[in-house]
Amino acid sequence: MIRFLLTMSLCFLPALVAAKGTVSSADPRATDAGMEILRAGGSATDASMAMMLVLTVVEPQSSGIGGGGFLVHHDAKTKMVATVDGRETAPASATPTLFLNPDGTPMRFREAVPGGRSVGVPGNIALMAKAHKKWGKLKWAKLFDPAIRVAENGYEVTPRLAGVIKTMSAVWGDFPETRAIYWQDGRPKAAGETIRNPALAKLLRDVAKRGPKAFYSGQNAQAIVDAAGQSKRNPTVITKADIAKYQAKDRAAVCTTYRVYKLCGMGPPSSGATTVFQILGMVERFDMKALGKDDPRSWHLIAEAMQLAYADREKYLGDADFVSVPVAGLLDKAYIASRSAIISETKALGAYAAGNPPGAPQRISAVSGEVSGTTHFVAVDGAGSIATYTSTVEGPFGSQLVANGYILNNELTDFTWVPEKQGALVANRVQPGKRPLSSMSPTIVYNDKGEPIFTVGAAGGKTIIMQVAKTLIAHLDWGLPVDQAVAAPNIYFGGDGLLLEANTPLAAMAGPLAGFGRTVVQWNGSGKLNAAAKVGDKWVGAADPRSEGTAATE
């Protein structure tokens, strides 16, 4: 009788439904895939990998398995943060003069990118395999289901994709395989039309069945070799040995403190964590909360810290497997305080030279190049584990080359093209097996109790660092909810001066910001951020309103 009564009483208790989590990505089809995996019991890592695969199909201009990425992971069970480096590598044939003309001058960017010369060995599938082995819950093959379905059944061209297809079609006369996928009736596909990619679906089925070896050996490896070597533009030598030996690498997370918070991100070959954290460290002595988002002085201080941090980036950052990178020195609190001390609250510095962090080698400053591409996505599962992942093929449609239906990257153009300056070797010069410097900045924030409360990342080349930095300040200092923090105006700098995002409240501050003694320019640079924040006991995702991205929470 007691057992019967206990059973009956349990029948009237509210149903206990496990929290499925939160995802955010740059495309609703990828967001749907992430939620599909979480509903099936997948981990945050599982969901993020499914999103990466779907983005390969539906956002080919920005990311995919033909490129690489960085993953920052928080394990809810162990409370540990870890990172995986899936950045592309230069083939053995690459030399420091890869992007120099015969007379020793740098190639023009538009001449260097298309074709095989710019292609690095892709890293995303190796990253996926390593992360899945560590933190995956579902079977490997299950993660491929959404992407295979979309590639086979077809997907609708978005306005953003249609615009990029139209723009890049001007060079596709030399890339018939790419044009075959993204053209229809002798013209670029338009928004609302359908793309099917059976070749990519076939490859995804093979990798789902046989694992990463199906990507890094055999027919697919040969397809990469052939695409790069037989390209009409810039043919180059990538060998099957280059591809077979590729490895994603575990890297120690780079962490710092900012006010009461702990922040962790990606170390070299990413410049993301060091540069974002330097910016935050330099504004930390100012009362950013009291100043607020509507005071031009806030943006003046951010602008000064930004340019000082980027100066250090250009001088000291590179692949730490090849060059000495003074990460500890760059984030040394005393060093950052000394850099902050030269910032005036009333006047722009005007000149922004690199500093001399502790332990820094003798080095020459040399600007590296990155174009606006890339994508970011976030997943938080019901247990509280977090996967925040930035993935890229570099520029719009990467190298323009296709292998088995996917776009091959142009990441090698992220190297500094001139290998030597004033008699000194440049940190980010081209070398065989080396990973080019990146600005990708996946970041996780912890509160004063050590609990994760926020995660963010962005797309947009070297502007990624500033998009992430302003979002962190907007959320942590100005108290903006995650969606408003992501939507906050973007600021950057260039040859014309300080760049303010046009048609925003920041642009309306152009006069006061010019009053600090600098040139100010309206800027049409678009943002593409994805983030998630803990609100009470639940995570909430957000996608940049400037993008086609979405977020979902269950």
Q: What residues act catalytically?
A: 374
> 543: closest CA among 23, 7, 180, 117?
23
**CA-to-CA distance for 447 and 452, rounded, in angstroms?**
6
User: Contact 36/50 with Cβ under 8 angstroms?
Assistant: yes
**CA-to-CA distance for 25 and 28, rounded, in angstroms?**
7
Helix H or strand E encompassing 276: helix 272-283
Q: Convert 35-60 to b/e letters by CB count within 10 Å (16 or more is b).
A: bbbbebebbbbbbbbbbbbbbbbbbb
**CA-to-CA distance for 311 and 271, rounded, in angstroms?**
12
Helix H or strand E encompassing 72: strand 68-74
- At 106, give phi and psi (nearest 5°): -65, 145
How many other C-beta atoms lie within 10 A of the C-beta of residue 340? 19
Q: Rounded to whole angstroms, what are the CA distances from 359 to 226, 265, 274, 328?
A: 44, 21, 15, 8
Cα-trace Rg, the chain = 23
